[in-house]
Structure 1
Amino acid sequence: MTAAIHAVTGISNATGRPLVLAGVLRSPLTLQRAQVATLATAQASNGATWAEFGGNQARTHGSASRLLVEGQRANLLRNPRCEGAVIGTPGTLPTFWSFAGTLGLSTAVTGTGVEDGLAYVDIRFFGTPTSTGTVQVNHDVASPASDGQVWTYSLFSRVSAGSLANVGNATLAATAGTGTTNATYTLASATLGTTRRSATVTAAGGATSIIVRWRLAVTSGQPVDVSVRFAGIQLEQGPAASTPILPLAGSPASVTRGTDLVSATLSALGIAGNGRATLGWCGVIPQAAGAGASQTLLQIDGGDENNRYTVLNAAGGSVIRLQRGLAGATAQSDAGSMTAGTVFRLGLSIDGAGRAALSLNGGAPIAVTGGAVSGLAALRLGTTAAGLAAMFGETRHLHLLPFTIADARLGAFTAALPG
């Protein structure tokens, strides 16, 4: 990284300061995350195993080992750990779970345990269906919902025994008033931690609640015998699934994971109140922004939204936008679009005189002018000053330079950032 900075800036001692290095948070950047009787999660570098994290613990996520920053979410399904199941035929389903129709098939709870860090239950479906349709599993009772709310249902599932002979697709089904979704997929035998599926629905038609069900298609008169392993059931308000949100073991309940608040004061970074500095960022946002909220990547502000420089993914899509606020008035310019799930790079340079420039993936910089020249106090990664408009994304690198890079060199600096 240092060699790249030297090459593109022409400044031999321009080492700068890594704030996130290979996904690891570096001082003076800190992370705070409130959560009570709740455990957050992240995927290990093997791309399969999931680990649990307490409050204020940074999470390095996935095979690329990036720092995870997510907003606040609640899991309304009370028993994602599949607790309370009793092995037997038929056995006892996990607490709060139930069948919503088995079409004449017999059922059994055949196993419980932990795979890839996920607590699971195995349910066997066997016999000859008396009619064509879907076997249905409820994970909980209906949850409150209202029109316009966007909800995402997710779980892990795989074949644990038997076969898919005479078995059709599995479906994640969600209903909220007249809003419905049915996300179908084919069960496989892959390792559990890699099998997560999700379905998103918008409540409509006077909705007062939302109910989610897992379904499996069968055909009348065609015998089946398949065992399915379930784990990590989740229902959250938002346009895409966030990482699994878990209650404490032995205490099934709907629980909330707080927002990841990552920040440092400018004084601790050696940056003046005019914000004069350059930031290089590299990472991934797994999903486009929902219609109702943008996703904040970087922000330098005075402690509120009135005076700030912000880089964000604009609401309703994948447009990367540079925005400045001065006494509450805003101006903005768009740098182009990112691709959800694909690594991209940002170079942000603030000149201390009210101008900021942004390069996306080494492209020609765009700029905003008329910004704050004093009173700036904090750098934030992944949220606004109010802790809103969270990134729900992953950062591999964040590098700070205590000076401005001219537009002519900013693109090259950005393109040289490590992936």
Structure 2
Amino acid sequence: MAGTRSNNMKKLLLFLLLPLLAVAQLPRLPQQGQFTPSFVLDLTKGTLPSSFTCTRAGTATRFNALGQLETVAANAPRFDYDPTTYQNMNLIAPSEDYSGGIWSRTGSTVSQTAVTAPIAASVTLLTETTATSGHTLTGSNVSTAICTFSIYAKAAGRNFLWLYFGGYSGGSTWFDLASGTAVNVEGNVTAAIVNLGDGWYRCSITKKNAQNHSSVAANLANSSTATSYTGDGVSGILLTGAQLETGTVVGPYTKTTTLPVTTTTLATLKGLLIEDSRTNFVRNSEMVGAVTGTPGTLPTNWAIDQAYGSSTVRSRVAVVSELGITCVDIGLSGTTTTGNYLLVNPNGANYPCTVGQRLTFSVYVRLAGGAMGIGAKCGVQAQFFDSGNAQLSSNNSTEIDVPTGLTKLSYTTGAAPANATSCRFWIYFTGAQPTTVYTFALRFGAPQVEVGSFPSSYIPTTGSSVQRNADFVQTSTLNWFNPKQGTIVTEILTPIAANTTSNQGIFSINTGTATPRIDCRYPFTFFLNTTSISNGTGLASTIQRVSTSYRSTNYMAVSVGGGVPTTATPATYPTGLNRLQLGTLDGGASNALNGHVRRLYYYPTVVPTPYFRKVSQ
């Protein structure tokens, strides 16, 4: 009898521990143990199952796996990537320090400078000696693969840059940095030159044949054919960002120091982007009308409403591309004055608004050349006006240091005050000391003004405002769904902590109407018909999980981040549910998440509380 009782106690203990054991064995994807999902939707793999449909009238944008902004066709899902996580291969190391290591020089010297490059990189001045010889900078590298060699260059007394693959026949190209052209391309390479503004170019050569090369070189030349000449001892070229990669594409630059980067790391997938309809009221975000030159022409509708100082002169304009974004570089020079303030207006007119509305302005910006002085800051300024154009209020965003890498600034106004009919935004720069002599260039891209309390994905415009339509993703295949009880675990990523409406859809199981329904909303309210319960806190730009459970007789629960569940007894229970929609609510494209749905798991039962909490972590 004692042995039987002992065995029974062991069995009871094992039974009680089973849920915890299942949790202990749980991987990142909750698909093991006795609680196996009947439906697994993993959108971090970048595909939407064929049982789902995506509807969106018109195109929209996203960042792709190469970290580049691109346009997505109508009715195509937007799997959106984080462009800051992309890393291209670079088989050259070091890529910015040419004083030693793999680099050698003949008839030339190198010196570090304080010059600002079009990328976040240190700049070297390659200067010719007075020798009668080649004036070269050679990096040892051996490969039989088809490769592309690129480097950033700006004339500093010498206009001709000669690139070649050493030991590879017909592998040279001469670039004219004054005209921005490849003027002499030998037969076994192709060549390209990209204008980056402020006299900077990215020059590249690509091998046509998979034959051996022993080195790469960036050399000075005094003509479009010169390989040797008598130098003057002072002329040179500014260089940075040497890169060698396999293939024929010039990829984004990757800095190296002691070791090469031998593989390309694709950008991290955020998830399936689902947004509501928005309109970009900036009339010309794609820089139409801009003319590259000195001083050049600003994009149509753009204006500098207040200069940095009394003697400010616009010295140049250049249209460039970075991260796939069409940008304009605006160069300025002069002397700052007391209370210096630079206001750049990308629209040249006010934006319409109504009382109580919130508007959000966003733009990509960075220093593209020169220096603005110690303590220079930037931000966004917003002003509301009445119908007679009298100013009602003025507010500034939090200031940040002027970035050296392309950075998205955004600012959301407070509610438009009484009598407000319009609003105006400026990108502002300030902080330089008075009487400072300056020459610098600023880069701007993808400016956007939209109604709402947060910035959404970029909407290109070329002459008037453009509307992006809402995303709507759903499936009517619910053979995995248990109408009596179940547990739904959802993983999301949103750019904001909470919307002012607190009503952004995460998922909804419904009949194509607002009720009946089982749905979950950000920041984390769970509905069974009209009964709702909340749990947890929304976190901006943070992957979060929410667990929700229901039982038709008497139970509903929600847990966020492993927290103690909130539970309730629903007043009524939904029946006849026949579809699942992601990131929206009420059977249509309303109340969008305005963020990324990453994963959804469905268990056809109410799982035990320890497991329920664990899978929301």
TM over 0.5: yes
Measure the CA separation in 2 of the matches of 1:364 and 1:185: 39
- Other-structure match for 1:43: 63
Structure 1 runs of 4+ aligned residues shifted over 4 Å read none
- Other-structure match for 1:316: none
The structure, 1 or 2, with the larger RCO (C-alpha pairs under 8 Å, 6+ apart) is 1
1:23–1:118 CA distance, 2 compared to 1 (3 A)? same
Counterpart check, 1:224 vs 2:224: no
- Other-structure match for 2:592: 390
- Other-structure match for 1:286: 495
2:301 is matched with which residue: 92, 96, 109? 96
2:451 is matched with which residue: 228, 237, 251? 237
Stretch moving more, 399-408 or 107-116: 399-408
Measure the CA separation in 1 of the matches of 2:436 and 2:306: 17
Give the letter aligned to residue 300 of structure 1. I
Q: What TM-score, normalized by structure 2, do the two folds share?
A: 0.59
Contact residue 533 and residue 558 of structure 2 kept, 8 A:
no
Name the larger-Rg structure. Answer: 2
1:353-376: CA deviation from partner (whole Å, max 9, x where unpaired): 464332222333333423434122
Stretch moving more, 71-80 or 87-96: 87-96
1:34 is matched with which residue: 34, 57, 68? 57
1:124 is matched with which residue: 320, 331, 339? 331
1:244-300: CA deviation from partner (whole Å, max 9, x where unpaired): 1113xxx432111111112112xx121568374432211212202232352121211
Q: Alignment identity in percent? A: 26
Contact residue 293 and residue 389 of structure 1 kept, 8 A:
no
Contact residue 506 and residue 597 of structure 2 kept, 8 A:
no
Gaps of 5+ in 1: 314-318
Measure the CA separation in 1 of the matches of 2:525 and 2:29: 29
Map 1:202-351 to 2 at 5 A: 202=414, 203-217=416-430, 218-247=432-461, 251-265=462-476, 268-271=477-480, 274=483, 276-313=485-522, 319-325=523-529, 330-351=530-551
Give the letter aligned to residue 41 of structure 2. L
- Other-structure match for 1:370: 571
Counterpart check, 1:59 vs 2:82: no
Map 1:176-195 to 2 at 5 A: 176-177=384-385, 178-183=392-397, 184-190=399-405, 192=406, 195=407
1:74-116: CA deviation from partner (whole Å, max 9, x where unpaired): 1100111112101233321101111212243000333112111
Counterpart check, 1:151 vs 2:171: no
Contact residue 23 and residue 67 of structure 1 kept, 8 A:
no
Stretch moving more, 233-242 or 360-369: 360-369
1:366–1:23 CA distance, 2 compared to 1 (3 A)? farther
Q: SS in structure 2 opposite 1:245?
A: coil
Counterpart check, 1:169 vs 2:169: no
Give the letter aligned to residue 32 of structure 1. T
1:152 shift after superposition: 0.6
1:338 shift after superposition: 3.0
Aligned length: 390
1:129 shift after superposition: 3.3
- Other-structure match for 2:43: 21
Counterpart check, 1:72 vs 2:277: yes
- Other-structure match for 2:173: none
- Other-structure match for 1:359: 559
1:371–1:414 CA distance, 2 compared to 1 (3 A)? farther
- Other-structure match for 2:292: 87
Q: SS in structure 1 opposite 2:321?
A: strand
1:150-203: CA deviation from partner (whole Å, max 9, x where unpaired): 11101001111111226721221111233433122221221x2xx101011121
1:130–1:347 CA distance, 2 compared to 1 (3 A)? closer
Q: What TM-score, normalized by structure 1, do the two folds share?
A: 0.85
Measure the CA separation in 2 of the matches of 1:3 and 1:144: 47
